[in-house]
Structure 1
Amino acid sequence: MNSKLPHSAQLRETVKGLSLFQKLCAIIFVMITLIMFGRGALTYYNTLNDYEAGVHKRLQRLESTFKTLVERSSRELFRSADHYQLPSIEAISNNNVPPPSLMSGIDSVVFISINGAILASAHLEGTSYQPSEQDIQLAVASITENQRPHASIICNPGCTQSVFIPLINDDGNELIVNINRSASLLVEDFFDITGAELVIFSSAESDDVAQQTLLSSHGNKSAQMLAGILATSGSTLLSKGTFFGSTNGAYLGARYFEMPNGNLHLAIISDESNISSLARATLREILIAALSTSVLVIIVVYLTLRPPLSKLNTITETLPLLSASRFDEARKALSTVPRHRHYADEIDLLHDTAEQVTDALELLNKDIARHQYELQDKVHALTEAKQFNEMLLENSPMVVVTHRLDGTIQNINAMGRMLSGLNSNLPVNANINQWVRDPERDVTLSNSLRNMADKNQRKFQNELPFLAADGQIHDFLWTHSIVELDSTKLILSLGVDITETRRAEESLRWLGEHDRVTGLLNRSTFIEEAHRRIHRLEDEQAISLIMVDIDNFSEFNDRFGFDCGDDLLRKFANHISQILDNSCLLARTGSGEYCVLLASQPPASPQQLDAISHFEITLGNHTESINATVIVDKYERDACTVDELLSNATSLMQRMKNKAKGHVYYADEEDSRENRQEKYLLKEQLVQALNNNRLVLFYQPIIDLKSQRISHCESLVRMLDDEGSFIAPAKFLGIATESGLMPQIDYLVIEKALRQLAAWQQAGVSIQLSINITAPTLEQPDFSERLAQIIDDTGVTPDAVIFELVETDALENIDNARTLLEQIKSSGAQIALDDFGVGFTSFEYVRELPVDYIKIDQAFIRFIHERENDQALVRSIIEMSHSLGKKVIAEGVEEKAAMDVLSSMQVDYIQGYYISRPVPISALDLSIRV
């Protein structure tokens, strides 16, 4: 085959056969021909049936004609009897009867008595017929029964028409006159009238009809015609009485019937040869009409189908071009196809569709080509990504291992091989449980995952140590997932080495519980530990609280610097511990403040206390004398708590320092009562402030260091006293907590703050607002419902709200806190963990809580630009918070130097006096920038 041929031509060369046009023409021609010839055959058949029915009717008429002719002839014989002159009895007896007239056509006359005896007879010359006795008896019986003349045809042996007429002669005697005439006259008359053959025969059961023929129109010829009919029809003529068909090359019709006496059989035969010629003429006309119609129809079909099928042929020859993407050639071929714009048919629609398909396929072809290029690019990118992932997996600082549930290792990355001492060729029996296990709890990795497999969990996280090949134990945080590889369930375990994190957490936990400078317990830890010690001590044992505060400590820092101040704090702590009993509980609870819980017998002596209040420190070549004020208060179990005892001591310390520093003071009952009275009055004032709407909000801006603009403001509560002066929250919030008023204050603050936020939002001010929530409020049973109601009433957008929760409050009951914080998060608000670093300071808990912000306590921030220890601690908090996806807010920024240090540490937000003090809404400037 020539490869240069068009695709359609190649297709025509490979596919040989009839075209659609030829097939349609052939099918239509055959169908029309079959229909026309079938219709012609039906017409021909119906015509023959009509002819046959006509023959049957004509034969019935011939039978009727013959019977009428017989009846008329009988009447004629009856009338001739009336004109016949009856002879006398004597003449009859002497057989002296005149013969019948030759002109009458009567052959013989027989006179019969009423009893059936032949009396006399007269015959024409040459005739001698007279009825048999049986014929006479039948006639007498018929006359007697019917009382009328009797007529019949009697063949014995010739056929005679015979009548029997009862008459009375002139003598009054009854006679029966029998008149006989040859039946051949009837047959001749019948043939002359009808032209039909008549055959009278004696028996229809004989095979030789000629021998049984008694009388026929043309003798043996008629008998042979009847014999042929009987041979052709069998018993049809005798059973049905009628025959029509071809016999011996001639179409004949026959009618069979019997004479009344039952002894004679008649057959009327008519020549129907003209029907054959009529049938042939009809058949010829039918064939001519059928052929003419078929030819005419095929011509019409040809002229009708040729143009559209020619178009269809062009379209079908064009379609293979599309598979070869030869779209221009296809369009050119389609453009040659004529179409009717106003009388479009299905082929025109096919033509339009073919053009549309051509355009669509061309576009699709272009898209496929483009997608092929894109797919190649994606395959290339996926290949690079696969190589990158493999490289990332091998160079990942995490341990990545796939293993079976029993611990059998399927694959392990470079980090895992390094720690386990394995190489790239894993031994068959390598088991991860050899390295990942906790010997103290006797737990292996597979043991810890059994519950995950039983419950069909998709993911699971736990902590298990990695016992490295070099003997070191690494703390690891594991994340496990069930994966399927080749229909086999495996476990993918990702391990992160958190050894340094654990050490940092331990350091943070220690720092959260201790003072960084002196190593002593801090205030919150001191209170907790004091509670525990008092609970363990017996009721009889005396317990005292000793509060020591270095006089003029801030001036000492100003004179000698913070390093010397820190040195003083450490040495003074050692000074106290050397003087008092080693079993005492010592803590640094303030800037230069120490607290001692002493449970000893006897209690501290005045000399010891006086020694505590005086101290000397050497600074280079200079010795500085340091004085301290000492407060001693006795703890009474039923009178107060440690918090109240500490609060009373603090209040007394402030009053005593205003009087005289550097002395030892013993708290008495009056001091306690005064303190309690002061608290009571402050509580009353707080209740009145709640009732009289004297709690107002101040706002302190918080700066986003990236944009150097205000990100949000923290709302802070202040109380107005009776004189209109503001009371700091530090004075009344503790009393509010003790009195159970914190939920009421918190709800009031939330509502006021959200209404202010709603006003900002309505004014188009895009700013977030931070609101503090305390643990007592968070633990209210209906907290979530009330918060949702306040948000709904104020109409604020919740995602602009940040709720701050103090770290120690959040971690007192971490499970409950997690649930409540998740409910807050579900409303759309965000969560900040406040005063971070002074409480538990555990990132394990932070990871479990749904918080968005970590606010580092100002105790770590205020002097961060001067203290390297604070910088190391804050840097660690920032890095760990960022690794957990939390943003960091540093509060207590009072110097630009502190802000610069924090900015270099990538802290997210800053807050403090350097930016702005808390101010009422009327004084708030939202355009502040740094």
Structure 2
Amino acid sequence: MTNSTEQGDGRDAADKIRTARLVDAHAGTRRARHKFLRYAEFRYRQFIKDPRQHPHGVACIHLNNWRECRDHFGFGGLETINAEIEARMLGALVEHDIFLRLADSSVVGVLWPGEGHRDIERWAAGMLDALGGAEYPVGARRVTATFSIGMCWFDRRVRGAEEALLDAMHLAEQLAEEGENRYGLFRPVKAPRAELGSETQLARQIRRSLQSNRLRMVFQPLLAAAAEGGRYYQVWARLMTDSGKLVPARHFLGVARRHELIGGLQRWTLRRSVHYLTTAHGSPSAVRLFVNVSPEAFSEPMFEWLARIRERHPEVGPRLIAEFELFDLENRAGETREVMQRLHEQGVRIGLSGIGEKHLGHRLLDEAPVDYLRMAPGFAEVLHDRAGLVGEFMAFISRAHHADRAVVMPEVEREEQVIEFWQAGVDFIQGDYIEQPRTSPERLD
């Protein structure tokens, strides 16, 4: 057990308890919770400074029948049970593990990876044996308790410690519904459209997700023709169902637009992308992110926030590529150009997506203040089926390069296309054939 630390930063907290095996019993107090989260975030920051180290795990240990214990033995009896739980837990923790009694029902914590040989699923099985192996005395009576343990890895760049803990807690609560000793590791998977319900239900879920931060970012790498210049990724937001499944963008972006939620989703993605870029390991040119945006994503507070980011992290702007749809430039030219100009003043690079056959000689593209030109989805197949279009496309690439713009070809699905596009002069190719989107970018060595 420990008392709350004095005021200070995460490093102060780390110095005080870096060798402690901690279960903090100051349940529900703001000071204890702040102390724990501050230290957990310190761990997270230390972790992402060196992405080659072994991942850290976070866990939530949930007392399944805590309500029954409270109803039968009162709050005093439940406190007695929780004290015994903490005592048994301490024997199963190792140096540098840190846990917090968050509520009457659960304890959350950060697990130290050791030298990389620690198996957190084996740890969870051992913890269930330690906690559930014997009854708990409450005065002259004894009670059997069951537990659920949810676990999650720190995300290397995007998720902070608090968000990973929320995943672990959500999983533990789901497992607790079975009322048995169980553990599970949080693994996001794609969700079929049928699970999402009606458009109204999906719009409601989008709103809830934005309010509760139940969203995830996924990264898909772009393969560059030139080896230099760092790594490029396109990022998207993914919704999460109540069962923890990830919902692909194609299932909800249309609903978000119709219900005027697209700006909120894009702001969320922008903020998470900037967080990634401010914490990414390596040289300033190591990573660049394409982020889909529209004029709805930007307001005065958003521009003010970007200005503050630029003051603190001037290297971020050139690594962030705000990608607008050509539709916005064609149909909302005034406000779209104004937003582009203001982003350019913040040092942000600009991209334009959705360029199809009819746009190859479009004067609008020649005049647009952009750095990257992304072809429309399906254009790779159109080009493959229509050999007569190749010459026009190569002329388009030549004009783009003359204006110091890069051309991106999405949805490349075959090996021969890769060779053809390199030969044509395409700068970046992208597609599930090359690599599927995933919740963490590749390791930056």
Given the two structures, how large is their TM-score scaled by the length of structure 1?
0.25
- Relative distance call for 1:782 and 1:917 in structure 2 (3 A) is same
* Dislocated runs of 4+, deviation >6 Å: 762-765
- Relative distance call for 1:864 and 1:896 in structure 2 (3 A) is farther
Contact 1:698/1:919 (8 A) holds in 2: yes
Q: CA deviation at 1:917?
A: 1.4
Matched, 1:767 2:287: yes
Residue 51 of structure 1 corresponds to which residue in structure 2?
none
Provide, for residues 219-254 of structure 1, a one-character-per-residue CA deviation record: whole Å limited to 9, x for no partner. xxxxxxxxxxxxxxxxxxxxxxxxxxxxxxxxxxxx
Q: CA deviation at 1:699?
A: 0.6
1:477-516 equivalent positions in 2, closer than 5 A:
none
1:757-836 equivalent positions in 2, closer than 5 A:
757-761=277-281, 766-778=286-298, 780=299, 783-789=302-308, 791=310, 797-836=316-355
Letter in 2 for 1:749: T
Residue 534 of structure 1 corresponds to which residue in structure 2?
none
Matched, 1:726 2:246: yes
Distance in 2 between residues matched to 1:811 and 1:800, nearest whole Å? 26
Residue 472 of structure 1 corresponds to which residue in structure 2?
none
Letter in 1 for 2:279: A
Distance in 1 between residues matched to 2:435 and 2:389, nearest whole Å? 23
Residue 915 of structure 1 corresponds to which residue in structure 2?
434
Q: CA deviation at 1:919?
A: 0.9
Distance in 2 between residues matched to 1:754 and 1:782, nearest whole Å? 15
Residue 738 of structure 1 corresponds to which residue in structure 2?
258
Contact 2:294/2:336 (8 A) holds in 1: no
Letter in 1 for 2:328: D
Q: CA deviation at 1:837?
A: 1.6
SS in 2 for 1:835: strand
**Structure showing greater relative contact order (alpha-carbon pairs closer than 8 Å, 6 or more residues apart):** 2
Contact 1:720/1:727 (8 A) holds in 2: yes
Distance in 1 between residues matched to 2:295 and 2:361, nearest whole Å? 18
Contact 1:804/1:834 (8 A) holds in 2: yes
Provide, for residues 697-718 of structure 1, a one-character-per-residue CA deviation record: whole Å limited to 9, x for no partner. 1111112202288631111111
**Alignment partner for residue 847 of structure 1, among 363, 366, 379?**
366
Distance in 1 between residues matched to 2:343 and 2:230, nearest whole Å? 24
- Relative distance call for 1:763 and 1:852 in structure 2 (3 A) is closer
Q: CA deviation at 1:756?
A: 1.0
Residue 456 of structure 1 corresponds to which residue in structure 2?
none
1:851-862 equivalent positions in 2, closer than 5 A:
851-862=370-381
Provide, for residues 656-697 of structure 1, a one-character-per-residue CA deviation record: whole Å limited to 9, x for no partner. xxxxxxxxxxxxxxxxxxx9x710000111111112211111
Contact 1:807/1:840 (8 A) holds in 2: no
Contact 1:772/1:804 (8 A) holds in 2: yes
- Relative distance call for 1:811 and 1:868 in structure 2 (3 A) is same
Contact 2:306/2:346 (8 A) holds in 1: no
1:584-623 equivalent positions in 2, closer than 5 A:
none
Matched, 1:878 2:407: no
- Relative distance call for 1:840 and 1:768 in structure 2 (3 A) is same
**Alignment partner for residue 895 of structure 1, among 391, 400, 414?**
414
Distance in 2 between residues matched to 1:709 and 1:861, nearest whole Å? 24
Residue 232 of structure 2 corresponds to which residue in structure 1?
712
**Alignment partner for residue 924 of structure 1, among 435, 442, 445?**
442
Q: CA deviation at 1:748?
A: 0.9
Q: CA deviation at 1:791?
A: 4.8
Provide, for residues 150-188 of structure 1, a one-character-per-residue CA deviation record: whole Å limited to 9, x for no partner. xxxxxxxxxxxxxxxxxxxxxxxxxxxxxxxxxxxxxxx
Q: CA deviation at 1:773?
A: 0.5
Contact 1:806/1:834 (8 A) holds in 2: yes
SS in 2 for 1:847: helix
Q: CA deviation at 1:885?
A: 3.0
Residue 588 of structure 1 corresponds to which residue in structure 2?
none
Distance in 1 between residues matched to 2:314 and 2:217, nearest whole Å? 19
**Alignment partner for residue 752 of structure 1, among 272, 276, 288?**
272
Q: CA deviation at 1:724?
A: 0.9
Letter in 2 for 1:758: T
- Relative distance call for 1:790 and 1:700 in structure 2 (3 A) is same
Provide, for residues 187-232 of structure 1, a one-character-per-residue CA deviation record: whole Å limited to 9, x for no partner. xxxxxxxxxxxxxxxxxxxxxxxxxxxxxxxxxxxxxxxxxxxxxx
SS in 2 for 1:893: coil
Residue 93 of structure 2 corresponds to which residue in structure 1?
none
Letter in 1 for 2:272: K
1:349-388 equivalent positions in 2, closer than 5 A:
none
Distance in 1 between residues matched to 2:230 and 2:434, nearest whole Å? 10
Letter in 2 for 1:691: Q
Distance in 2 between residues matched to 1:903 and 1:769, nearest whole Å? 21
Distance in 1 between residues matched to 2:202 and 2:311, nearest whole Å? 34
SS in 1 for 2:217: strand
Distance in 2 between residues matched to 1:799 and 1:774, nearest whole Å? 19
Contact 2:281/2:444 (8 A) holds in 1: no
Provide, for residues 62-96 of structure 1, a one-character-per-residue CA deviation record: whole Å limited to 9, x for no partner. xxxxxxxxxxxxxxxxxxxxxxxxxxxxxxxxxxx
Distance in 1 between residues matched to 2:358 and 2:326, nearest whole Å? 6
Contact 1:832/1:853 (8 A) holds in 2: yes
Contact 1:811/1:840 (8 A) holds in 2: no
Contact 2:326/2:355 (8 A) holds in 1: yes
- Structure 1 residue runs of 5 or longer lacking an equivalent are 1-653, 656-674
SS in 2 for 1:920: coil
Contact 1:769/1:802 (8 A) holds in 2: yes
- Relative distance call for 1:870 and 1:726 in structure 2 (3 A) is farther
Contact 1:702/1:712 (8 A) holds in 2: yes
Distance in 2 between residues matched to 1:926 and 1:864, nearest whole Å? 34
Provide, for residues 457-494 of structure 1, a one-character-per-residue CA deviation record: whole Å limited to 9, x for no partner. xxxxxxxxxxxxxxxxxxxxxxxxxxxxxxxxxxxxxx
Residue 142 of structure 2 corresponds to which residue in structure 1?
none
Q: CA deviation at 1:852?
A: 0.6
SS in 1 for 2:322: strand
SS in 2 for 1:724: coil
- Structure 2 residue runs of 5 or longer lacking an equivalent are 1-192
SS in 2 for 1:861: helix
SS in 1 for 2:374: strand
Distance in 1 between residues matched to 2:222 and 2:412, nearest whole Å? 11
Provide, for residues 103-133 of structure 1, a one-character-per-residue CA deviation record: whole Å limited to 9, x for no partner. xxxxxxxxxxxxxxxxxxxxxxxxxxxxxxx
Distance in 1 between residues matched to 2:216 and 2:392, nearest whole Å? 36
Contact 1:891/1:912 (8 A) holds in 2: yes
Distance in 1 between residues matched to 2:217 and 2:377, nearest whole Å? 21
Letter in 2 for 1:740: E
1:109-128 equivalent positions in 2, closer than 5 A:
none
Provide, for residues 560-604 of structure 1, a one-character-per-residue CA deviation record: whole Å limited to 9, x for no partner. xxxxxxxxxxxxxxxxxxxxxxxxxxxxxxxxxxxxxxxxxxxxx
Distance in 2 between residues matched to 1:693 and 1:751, nearest whole Å? 12
Residue-pair matches, total: 252
- Relative distance call for 1:709 and 1:880 in structure 2 (3 A) is closer
Contact 1:834/1:854 (8 A) holds in 2: yes
Contact 1:775/1:810 (8 A) holds in 2: no
Residue 16 of structure 2 corresponds to which residue in structure 1?
none
- Relative distance call for 1:898 and 1:876 in structure 2 (3 A) is same
Q: CA deviation at 1:776?
A: 2.2
SS in 2 for 1:858: coil
Letter in 1 for 2:354: D
* Larger CA Rg, structure 1 vs 2: 1
Q: CA deviation at 1:783?
A: 4.7
**Alignment partner for residue 424 of structure 2, among 893, 905, 908?**
905
Q: Among all aligned residue pairs of Structure 1 and Structure 2, give the percentage whose two residues are the same amino acid.
A: 21
Q: CA deviation at 1:811?
A: 2.1
RMSD: 2.9
- Relative distance call for 1:864 and 1:710 in structure 2 (3 A) is farther
